[in-house]
Amino acid sequence: MKYALWIVILWLLVACSQAETTPTPTVTAEPTPTPTPVPTPTFDAAKLGSAELDVTYCAPDGREQKLDIYYPSSGGPWPVLLYVHGGSWREGDKAEGEGWRGLNEQGILVASVNYRMAAEGKFPVMIEDVQCAVRYLRAHSADFNIDPDRMAAVGASAGGHLVALLGTADETAVWEQSEYADQSSRVQAVITLAGLFDFTVSLPGGTNSAVYYAFGGLAGDGSPEMAAASPVTYITADDPPFLILHGDNDGIVPMAQSEILHERLTAVGVPATLVIVQNGDHSLGGANASPTQAEINEMIAVFLAENLLAQ
């Protein structure tokens, strides 16, 4: 099977180790009305094999949030892989999502999302935006020629945290859902790469600085806010399958974070696979890393085939 280098581009994540510690004031967003959908009830076949960039998906507090879409060259309705970039919740860009475009060859539409950064508001503004992107895609499934019942999400580091919330958070998480509120923000499969999942335990100093900047609190401080930001808080037996990858030589996010997620998911019967990359750093790479990135690509392709394409 032919693959593009759609995993290498993820590793702009090293920005996590350079996080700032200066807190920013919380931004309280006013509810915004659901935009009137553009009357395009059928898919434009001219988009086959193309990229559609800077699509506005939601506008919290009047600030337009954008996503990019990479279309397969034939077929449909397609399943969707949503890419959520990392970068300490304070930087990164949806342009990284082009690195996943090779999945178009498997008949998977790839969408890559930007979201509000910590400088614009503390958590939960990030997950509010990412959830809104999922709801937007479902609301416009005919326009994009997608199957709204087959959606997966992948993210690394801070992005891994957000996609894990897409998989676990339910109505018990009280976050703003003013746009496309009639649509579900849950996904049917989740892939995490060196993510963060439990803020009730302590994290290394540099990583905790990033947490403080984005969340206004420190991991392990015992606060209800840190528990509410943790994907493990919301785990239930009806959560989707997870593929969890982490390097055992990760100097930014402890491998224990992925072990905790895996343990909690499997304890309630959620299908979850934990892959520990021996000698793997935060990018899952490094000298003598095993499995190799080519093997990781294959694992991801198989996981998506089993959980999206086989449905």
The answer, yes or no, to whether residue 19 has pLDDT greater than 50, is no
Which of 12, 16, 13 minimizes the C-alpha distance to 206?
16
Give the residue, 2 or 134, on which the prediction is more confident.
Answer: 134
Where does the pLDDT of residue 310 fall: very low under 50, low under 70, confident under 90, or very high at 90 and above? confident
Return the pLDDT at 56.
98
C-alpha to C-alpha distance for 163 and 84, rounded to whole angstroms: 7
Contact 121, 26 (CB under 8 A): yes
Contact 60, 129 (CB under 8 A): yes
Return the pLDDT at 176.
77
The answer, yes or no, to whether residue 197 has pLDDT greater than 50, is yes
Give the residue, 250 or 36, on which the prediction is more confident.
Answer: 250
| Composition of the chain by helix, strand, coil, percent to 5 | 35, 20, 45
Return the pLDDT at 102.
95
The answer, yes or no, to whether residue 7 has pLDDT greater than 80, is no
Return the pLDDT at 41.
58
pLDDT, tens digit (0-9, with 9 covering 90-100), for 99-148: 999 999 999 999 999 999 999 999 999 999 999 999 999 999 999 999 99
Where does the pLDDT of residue 18 fall: very low under 50, low under 70, confident under 90, or very high at 90 and above? very low
Return the pLDDT at 158.
98
Q: Give the list of residues 6+ apart from residue 219 with CB closer than 8 angstroms, or none.
A: 199, 200, 201, 202, 203, 207, 208, 211, 226
What CATH architecture is 45-309? 3-Layer(aba) Sandwich (3.40)
Where does the pLDDT of residue 78 fall: very low under 50, low under 70, confident under 90, or very high at 90 and above? very high
**Which sequence spans correspond to the domains of the chain?**
45-309
Q: At what angle do helices 125-139 and 158-168 cross, to 10 degrees?
A: 60
Sheet holding 146-156, edge to edge: 51-58, 65-70, 109-113, 78-84, 146-156, 189-193, 242-247, 272-277
Where does the pLDDT of residue 173 fall: very low under 50, low under 70, confident under 90, or very high at 90 and above? confident
Give the residue, 8 or 289, on which the prediction is more confident.
Answer: 289
pTM across the whole model: 0.88
